[in-house]
Amino acid sequence: MDISLIDWSRAQFALTAFYHWLFVPLTLGLAFIMAVMETLYVRTGKSFWRDTAKFWMKLFGINFAVGIATGLILEFQFGTNWSNYSWFVGDIFGAPLAIEGIVAFFMEATFVAVMFFGWNKVSKRFHLVSTWLTCLGATISAWWILVANAWMQYPVGMAFNPDTVRNEMVSFLEVATSPMAVAKFFHTVLSGWVLASAFVLCVASWYLVKKRESKFALSSIKIAAITGLFASVLSFLTGDMSARMVAKTQPMKLAAMEGLYNGGNGVGLVAIGMVNPNKQPGDSQEAMLFDVKIPKMLSFLASHDLNSYVPGINDILDGGYPMPDGSVALSFADKKARGTLAHEALADYRQAKEAKNPALMQQAQETLAKNMPYFGYAYFNDSKELVPNVPLNFYAFRVMVILGGYFILLFFIAMFLSVKEKYHLQKWVQWVALLSLPLAYIAGMSGWVVAECGRQPWAIQDLLPVKTAISKLQPGDVQLTFWLFLALFTLLLIAEIGIMLKAIKKGPELKS
Amino acid sequence: METYTFLQNYWWFLVSLLGGLLVFLMFVQGGNSLLIDLGKNEDERTLMINSTGRKWEFTFTTLVTFGGAFFASFPLFYSTSFGGAYWLWMLILFSFVLQAVSYEFRDKAGNLFGKRTYHIFLVINGIVGPVLLGAAVATFFTGSGFEIGKNNITDMGNPVISQWSSPWHGLEELWGGCGQPASNWWNYVLGIAVFFLARILGLLYYMNNIDNESFHAKCRRSLWWNSGIFLVFFIAFVTRVLLADGFAVNPETGKVFMEPYKYLHNFIAMPAVLVIFLLGVIGVLAGILTSLLKPCFKKGIWFAGTGTVLCVLGLLLCVGYNHTAYYPSTTNLQASLTLQNSCSSLFTLKVMSVVSLLIPFVLGYIFFAWRAMDKKKITIEEMQNTEDKY
């Protein structure tokens, strides 16, 4: 396949996912915060809370529209740009997307209209239920799309069918409740809550800095700080859960995140460091230009055992180390040889089927079943192709973790001052909150960089390389749509920010 | 009937039903295309945009679910059509992206382009969306050029299973290309018919949803000529479908071959499908005619809307059932997609069928919320006195 086609297709998907994730976390988190505010309105009868909720709903609506638009493109790109993927794993991957549409999108679409336009058309309680259902719809939608994404990281519940030449689902439960999906769902949704809390904190702090809307701002800050602290602490804990899953199912991703070339027992975690950009697998260069390590911490994070074995990039490529199940890891060369056997067996099976030779079919099928876990390795010629971009993963992971810690601290301080009713006196906290919003976006994006770039070169871990998942288009076609999307999404983002800023400057309309 | 065959048919029915609902809900697009002719002043444009603006999410969601359901139940179609007719689908998607933001952004301060640009975006989607979706559906009858080679997966240099024949990747569906005949005037014919149907539905929806006598009269006048053009193109396409050779499948060998009057035979062989189709046509005509002949009649959208769903459902059932290739290949007949060779596994179809039991519940809450929101019709006074508007 043409490398430039693969690269442009990857770039287009990354671009769309990047833009989509600029809008979705705010939708997820703000929906919850607005619903809490409206609940306070219904419970206390104070119109202050209605007006407060309405202000945040206005900002929610502006953000929501672009999130939907980018999401549409993302879904259809699986077909337009990843046609082989759509067939090879569509039997499993399509189901969560369809369920997302039936169960979640309709709920969101139906009740978001009531939430925006129903204030004078439906009862207070019906309206409140609609706001909560909008929040629930967005969250259920996140569940199903993250089930699909988790399956790409950790494919379970399927078997390869040589008659149809695709993987087919054999256990829906395994797919829908995979531990990777559970970890991803909580980590991702909670990170959305963190971002939305940082957003509310930022906007409300701006009002305080400007000495405007203090009651509105302080009330919003209290809710955002509590939500943010809760979400950031839980996000940290679910991040630990995710890291253990990565260690178990995607050791190469973990090694890249750590810049770890030579593993061992009781491996330390790099707290701060700089990756040697020239380092290649198998050479004698140092992996890090400098680093400060926390002893044994990586082993502990990987399996909650200070002395556990963590393989490095070289170990994974060379094999021979003990696996958690007691077996010995295969080298790249072994995996490629077995993947090639699987390919040959598939071709033999198809030929035998055409020749109507059941004995040969059975023989080929047995060989195929034995070697199918390595099917994807046959597409690679050089072991280095299996190594994701180490510096990118290393730095993105650290940025995410450091910012995660930073937000716990920020929300703790904000909550403490808020509860003590001293937030309005602390100008520096207001400024810090005001300036911290971009950091929340960077933290979320960094998380996705680790999740998606750490999986490279696989579209489906160990099963289907990105280069094989592609649609056969001209590179120029994808290049053109890439630039069109870039221009369109960027202009829409600028428009969205412009509208948000004007709406924030105008402020809430507090009738009480 | 075997369980697997039953589920293949069941999922084709659901996908067809979603297709029918999508065309009905394109009253949003049809309504937006009318901004040019009917939205002569700001009050009228505000009424029109806020009327369809409270429903656009349904159209959008149905489009997404239509895609998702196709992916889950007939993944080979998803990979062949979307990966092959790339530009056709991309143009459709671009137009829907423009629409998604235009309602929310159009009247907001700081929106970068100004109100007029967002109106133009809505009109672009109102024209491009229905025309191209209609053209894409027409290819189910006229065929597209592609090859399917499942053995390609073990070819390291060229592992792609579905390969499109034309380098124009879908544009040839609109104006030929790659030395092929411009097959595809009939694609335009259905595209134009769907476009005018969407406009008719948009008009009928406005007549139902907007409480303004002079605007109602304007819609009625516009309904005359839009209905006339729709009927010409719709009758032309249906006549072509009934008289054309169709892509038949030999049930024993699975071989695809051309059969004269295949779709006419399908209607005759499946009277229930014929009845669905005819009831649909009657519903659409009843909605149009009653609205034209009775000046105060406002419920035309429900007749024409139900008719649209049934009509599209009937056409799609006709092209998928009774041993027919629903996505034919003109490059290699044997590569054509049938319900059998393009569907998901039995297990996945079973799981999805259990999920589909939720659909009545979903329709129920949509009905409930829609009714609650539409109890009071939209008026100019409401638009002038509320902040809850686009």
CB contact under 8 A, A72 and B60: yes
Q: How much is the pLDDT for B198?
A: 98
The predicted-structure confidence for B32-53, as pLDDT tens digits, reads as follows 999 999 998 999 999 999 999 9
- Find the CB nearest A91 among B90, B94, B344: B344
Which residues is A291 bridged to in the sheet?
A: A273
Cα atoms found within 13 Å of the Cα of residue A375, Cβ hemisphere only? 27
Residues in B closer than 8 angstroms to A168, CB to CB, are 344-345, 347-348
- Contact B81/A at CB under 8 A: yes
Residues in A closer than 8 angstroms to B162, CB to CB, are 83-84, 87, 471-472
CB contact under 8 A, B158 and A88: no
Banded model confidence at residue B179, pLDDT cuts 50, 70, 90: very low
DSSP string covering B117-149, please? HHHHHHHHHHHHHHHHHHHHHHHHHH-B-EEE-
Number of residues that this document lists for chain A: 512
CA distance A260 to A328: 20
Helices A90-99, B346-356: axis angle to 10 degrees equals: 0
Q: Is residue B140 part of a domain?
A: yes
Residues 96-125 of B with CB under 8 A from A: 96-98, 100-101, 103-105, 108-113
CB contact under 8 A, A343 and B83: no
Query: Would you call the peptide bond into A457 cis, given omega within 30 degrees of 0 as the criterion?
Result: yes
Q: Is the model's pTM score more than 0.90?
A: yes
Give Dmax (Cα) for chain A: 84
- Contact B153/A at CB under 8 A: yes
The amino acid that residue B49 corresponds to is: I
Cα atoms found within 13 Å of the Cα of residue A242, Cβ hemisphere only? 23
Expressed in angstroms, the distance from the first to the final Cα of chain A is 65
Using 50 as the pLDDT threshold, list the residues of chain A that sit under it: none
CB contact under 8 A, A91 and B352: no
CB contact under 8 A, B373 and A118: yes
Containing structural domain, residue B327:
3-385
The predicted-structure confidence for B83-103, as pLDDT tens digits, reads as follows 999 999 999 999 999 999 999
Six-digit token string for B313:
């459902």
Number of other CB atoms surrounding residue B240 within 10 Å = 17
CA distance B277 to B20: 11
A442 and A397 Cβ atoms separated by less than 8 Å = no
Rg (CA), chain A: 25
Q: How much is the pLDDT for B38?
A: 94
Q: Which residue has the tokens 């790249």?
A: A332
Cα atoms found within 13 Å of the Cα of residue B106, Cβ hemisphere only? 22
Six-digit token string for A139:
């969250």
- Contact B258/A at CB under 8 A: no
Residue B98: phi, psi to the nearest 5?
-60, -40
Residues in A closer than 8 angstroms to B345, CB to CB, are 91, 161, 164, 168-169
CA distance B201 to B212: 18
Q: How much is the pLDDT for A141?
A: 95
CB contact under 8 A, B161 and A1: no
Residues in B closer than 8 angstroms to A16, CB to CB, are none
High-pLDDT (> 70) share of chain B, %: 97
- Contact A53/B at CB under 8 A: no
Six-digit token string for A432:
């810090």
The amino acid that residue B6 corresponds to is: F
Q: Is residue B390 part of a domain?
A: no
Q: How much is the pLDDT for A400?
A: 96
CB contact under 8 A, B83 and A109: no
CA distance B318 to B262: 9
ipTM for this model: 0.93
CA distance A167 to A90: 8
Q: Tell how far CA A424 is from the center of its chain.
A: 35
Nearest residue in chain B measured CA to CA from A491: B112
Residue B177 pLDDT greater than 80, yes or no: no
The amino acid that residue B75 corresponds to is: P
The amino acid that residue A40 corresponds to is: L
Give Dmax (Cα) for chain B: 67
Number of domains, chain B = 1
CA distance A48 to A51: 5
In a mutagenesis test of the B interface, which of A3, A27, A76, A480 is the best target, namely the one with the most B β-carbons within 10 Å? A76
- Average pLDDT, integer, range B222-233: 97
Q: How much is the pLDDT for A512?
A: 59
CB contact under 8 A, B150 and A350: yes
CA distance A202 to B34: 42
- Find the CB nearest B111 among A118, A161, A499: A499
CA distance B139 to A249: 43
Pairing of strands B246-249, B256-259: antiparallel
Selection from B106, B21, B16 nearest residue B55 by Cα: B21
Residue B180 pLDDT greater than 70, yes or no: no
Residues 340-369 of A with CB under 8 A from B: 343-344, 346-347, 350
- Contact A490/B at CB under 8 A: no
Q: How much is the pLDDT for B375?
A: 87
Residues in A closer than 8 angstroms to B362, CB to CB, are 102-103, 106-107
B183: alpha, beta or left, given left = phi > 0 and alpha = psi -120 to 50? alpha
Would you call B210 helix, strand, or coil by DSSP?
strand
Which residues is B329 bridged to in the sheet?
A: B144
A59 and B104 Cβ atoms separated by less than 8 Å = no
Would you call A168 helix, strand, or coil by DSSP?
strand
The predicted-structure confidence for B310-338, as pLDDT tens digits, reads as follows 999 999 999 999 999 999 999 999 999 99
Q: How high is the mean pLDDT of chain B? A: 93
Number of other CB atoms surrounding residue B26 within 10 Å = 29
Nearest residue in chain A measured CA to CA from B67: A76
* Residue A259 CB partners (closer than 8 Å, separation 6+): A270, A273, A275, A279, A287, A288, A390, A391, A394
Number of other CB atoms surrounding residue B153 within 10 Å = 22
Residue contacts between A and B (CB atoms, under 8 Å): 289
Residues in B closer than 8 angstroms to A128, CB to CB, are none
Residue B1 pLDDT greater than 80, yes or no: no
Residues in B closer than 8 angstroms to A113, CB to CB, are 54-55, 57, 369, 373
* Residue A296 CB partners (closer than 8 Å, separation 6+): A266, A267, A268, A306, A307
Nearest residue in chain B measured CA to CA from A144: B68
Residue bearing the bigger pLDDT, B222 or B175 = B222
Q: How far B335 CA sits from the closest chain A CA (Å)?
A: 14
Six-digit token string for B71:
């992916």
B130 and B234 Cβ atoms separated by less than 8 Å = no
